[in-house]
Amino acid sequence: MFRYLFFILLLLAVGRLNAQQTQKPVLHGKNWMAITGKPLAATAGAITFQKGGNAVDAACAMLAATCTMWDVLSWGGETQVLLYNPKTKKVIGINAMGVAPSGATPEFFKSKGYYFPPEFGPLAATTPGTPGGLCYMLAEYGTLSLKEVLAPAMQLAAGYPIEAQTANSMERGKKRIKEWPYSKKIFLTHPGETREAPEAGEIFVQKDLLQTLGKMVEAEQAALKKKKSRKEAIMAAYDRFYKGDIAREFVRGCQEQGGLITLQDLARWKPLEEEPLTVNYKGIDVYKLQQWTQGPVLLQALNILENTDLKAMGYNSSRYIHTLYQAMSLSFADRDFYYGDPYFPPAEPIRGLLSKEYAKQRAALINPERNDPLIGPGDPYPFEGKTNPWLELLKQRGFIPDSSKRNFMPAHDNQGTAAVDPEYMDRLWRGTTSVEAADKEGWVVSITPSGGWLPACIAGTTGVGMSQRMQSFVLDSALNPFNVVAPGKRPRVTLTPTMALKDGRPYLSFAVQGGDTQDQNLLQFFLNMTEFGMNVQQATEAANINTNQLWLSLGGAKADDRKPKPGYILLQDGTPEKVRNELKQMGYTLSFDDRTSGPINAIYFDWKHGSFWGGSSNHGEDYGIGW
């Protein structure tokens, strides 16, 4: 009788979830869908579709617009792409992450007193990746010219009404902005006044950036006049940025302000097309970029959670939240020790990390009654038929993988019950933007670009803000032997677009901003739809949890700034008192916020009706348009 009653209550609960009101409507379209972090940037995607472009063209236009609008990134940052090609019916990855420049060694940064590479300024900069990634993606898979795709961004650079979020970010960061002459000139439009940054609604003009984008278009058009192909012409613009006069001014401006990037660094860098990583979760193939991102965390967590009946636990019950927290802690512990640039030795044990058998071993470690503050990295090597070469290092650190003595942190590192301060939470959530696009021909694009966020150091008269992604490297192999800074190497980044296929066809395309919380929120969004039957908009707005039981990837000058805070959990304000009390009894320290979904953007593919459903969270300024 009790089981029958429980089943009825569960059905009612699922029904309520399906009927829940959302603050923003579902987007519907049958021809195309364009979603990104700013309304004007979504309009750039719509304009491009209306020109006859495909989803790749529209995604490039939105990427260019968000960079121009400083949507927690700029043109000198990095771009990470998952792309579904309907012609080959394959998902591909595009790695447009910049690399550490010449001279960027642990010894160099340690000699300057750093524990990690710095958060801001020229020494935080990897080589720019976004211009090259955009050009490559457009040349290979788009249909329009660079001139057509950059037209909205160039109009924005010529002057657009700046929104309050960005303008206020400039004002908050003005003390640091004043350290850099080219940034000061562009961002502080009212020097000497009480408010030196632009006001909301003010027409914000970027003449230097407009000139840089114009030079790229000039190079393309000149190549076309010489009867070069569309692809060759776009790559002529690429060459002007990385090898021509734009490159020379970028390097001059970077080095003048103390940066390390050289002309050779720019000329040697190139975007890479990659095979993404994938796991199958209950019949759905989920794709992530390789282990130079944190993307495999979501895949590992899904493998672990596949061993449990999440639906029976109930959405955001204490048992469900606890199980999610433990699965994420196990996955992030592996991320923090084993992920890094696969193009540099040593080789990461990614095959073992994504093994279903390894996941079962990790899942068996979950104590259903209490949080485990001592979760550490496991040993995936036996699942590749190898012996772990890092066992001695793990023992020295106080980690004994998968034993009763496992410990993610040396004892003296444990933060105990220290308060989670606002600066820590800012570093945990530190944002970027996301771009989602799809069209009726079957092209699908998911991008999580970033880098060069405010307060940004601009390289000379290019108008291009330099990346700050160097800070995601470590200087000590004891923290992560795969992610130690070296010239030409990519840092292990938080940026992580996602795509899912069902029955061989696109099912979901989704991404979110938010530093180390990205795959936490994306995991829950995915489960909201697959386990709890929410539609795409409900799933983007639904209450999530965030864990602090991980090493931060961004910010902080000392190890203490980044160390895990075991048991710390963020809950949504509406969490019932019963659930709160049960989590406290399980050893959790609770904090609350009114919105915890993260700014998720997503597209659901409705094959039954031949249409798209778009979702854009109520968390920030993200916005979508469909047709």
- With contact defined as beta carbons under 8 Å apart, do 522 and 496 qualify? yes
Query: Is 112 exposed, middle or buried (CB count within 10 Å of its CB: 0-12, 13-18, 19+)?
Result: exposed
Q: Which of 451, 603, 398 is nearest to 77 (CA)?
A: 451
pLDDT tens digits, 73-102? 999 999 999 999 999 999 999 999 999 999
Residue 306 has what DSSP assignment? Answer: T
CA dist., res. 485 & res. 491, Å (int): 7
Alpha carbon distances (Å) from 277 to 91, 188, 290: 10, 43, 6
Peptide bond into 373 cis (omega under 30): no
Contacts of 177 (CB under 8 A, 6+ apart): 170, 183, 184, 187, 188, 455
Q: Which of 34, 25, 236 is nearest to 145 (CA)?
A: 236
Residue 13 is predicted with a pLDDT of: 46
- With contact defined as beta carbons under 8 Å apart, do 444 and 499 qualify? yes
- With contact defined as beta carbons under 8 Å apart, do 34 and 46 qualify? yes
Contacts of 347 (CB under 8 A, 6+ apart): none
Residue 430 is predicted with a pLDDT of: 61
CA dist., res. 560 & res. 553, Å (int): 13
Residue 421 is predicted with a pLDDT of: 65
CA dist., res. 472 & res. 516, Å (int): 11
Residue 480 has what DSSP assignment? Answer: -
What domains are there in the chain, each with its CATH number? Answer: 277-428+513-601+610-616 (1.10.246.130)
The two three-digit tokens of residue 500, written as one number:
């899912």
Four-CA torsion 32, 34, 39, 43, nearest 10 degrees: -50
45-76: string of b/e by CB count within 10 Å (b at 16+)? bbbbbeeebbbbbbbbbbbbbbbbbbbbbbbb
- With contact defined as beta carbons under 8 Å apart, do 616 and 622 qualify? yes
- Helical H runs in 51-145? 55-68, 106-111, 130-141
- With contact defined as beta carbons under 8 Å apart, do 523 and 328 qualify? yes
- Beta strand pairing call for 611-616 and 27-29: antiparallel
What one-letter code names the amino acid at 236?
A
Q: Which residue ranges of the chain lie beneath pLDDT 50?
A: 1-16, 401-419
CA dist., res. 429 & res. 385, Å (int): 37
The two three-digit tokens of residue 301, written as one number:
């967590």
Query: Is 442 exposed, middle or buried (CB count within 10 Å of its CB: 0-12, 13-18, 19+)?
Result: middle
The two three-digit tokens of residue 237, written as one number:
């613009």
- With contact defined as beta carbons under 8 Å apart, do 33 and 45 qualify? no
**Residue 497: half-sphere exposure toward Cβ, Cα within 13 Å:** 32
CA 559 centroid distance within chain: 23
Rg (C-alpha) for the chain, rounded Å, is 23
Reduced to 3 states, what is the DSSP secondary structure of residue 284?
A: strand
Task: Say how many Å lie between the first and final Cα of the chain, rounded.
Answer: 50
Tell me which residue has tokens 């992450």.
97
CA 601 centroid distance within chain: 12
Residue 338 is predicted with a pLDDT of: 98
CA dist., res. 450 & res. 468, Å (int): 9
278-306: string of b/e by CB count within 10 Å (b at 16+)? bbebeebbbbbbbbbbbbbbbbbbbbbbb
Residue 425 is predicted with a pLDDT of: 61
- With contact defined as beta carbons under 8 Å apart, do 195 and 189 qualify? no
- Beta strand pairing call for 589-593 and 568-572: parallel
Query: Is 178 exposed, middle or buried (CB count within 10 Å of its CB: 0-12, 13-18, 19+)?
Result: middle
Tell me which residue has tokens 């006001």.
199
